[in-house]
Amino acid sequence: MWGWLAIKALVSGLIIAAVSEIARRYPTTGALIASLPLVSVLGMLWLWNDQPDRANMAVHSAATFWYVLPSLPMFLVIPALLRAGLNFHLSLLLGCLLTILLYLAMIALAPRFGVKL
């Protein structure tokens, strides 16, 4: 069990490190790679390997779609704040706080529209 967890952590960490190195040299290419649903795909692979259950995977995949939506505005707010002169850490913090608020709104509002999370 611990060996499998270590492999998952190593592969996931290597991908994040590679993306950050690529982004350092080629920001747009790094952004493209970072925008790929690598974490979601890896998460689904790890989940399927640990528990190959079609119904569980369908729920997980659908919920992932709905949870991606509230995270998207962060990627517009952070650059706007940086261009307005705020420092990086404050911009990142405010973008993350916005995302948390939008996640909470999604959790509260989704059931009203028939979306099960």
pLDDT in tens, the chain (117 residues): 788 889 888 988 898 899 999 999 999 998 888 888 888 898 899 899 999 999 999 999 999 999 999 999 999 999 999 999 999 999 999 999 999 999 999 999 999 999 988
Confirm if 8 and 44 have CB atoms less than 8 A apart: no
Judge if 83 and 114 occupy the same domain: yes
Q: What is the pLDDT of residue 1?
A: 72
Q: What is the pLDDT of residue 38?
A: 84
Judge if 69 and 117 occupy the same domain: yes
pTM over 0.85: no
Judge if 47 and 62 occupy the same domain: no
CA-CA-CA-CA dihedral for 38, 29, 72, 75, to nearest 10: 140
Q: Which domain holds residue 91?
A: 53-117
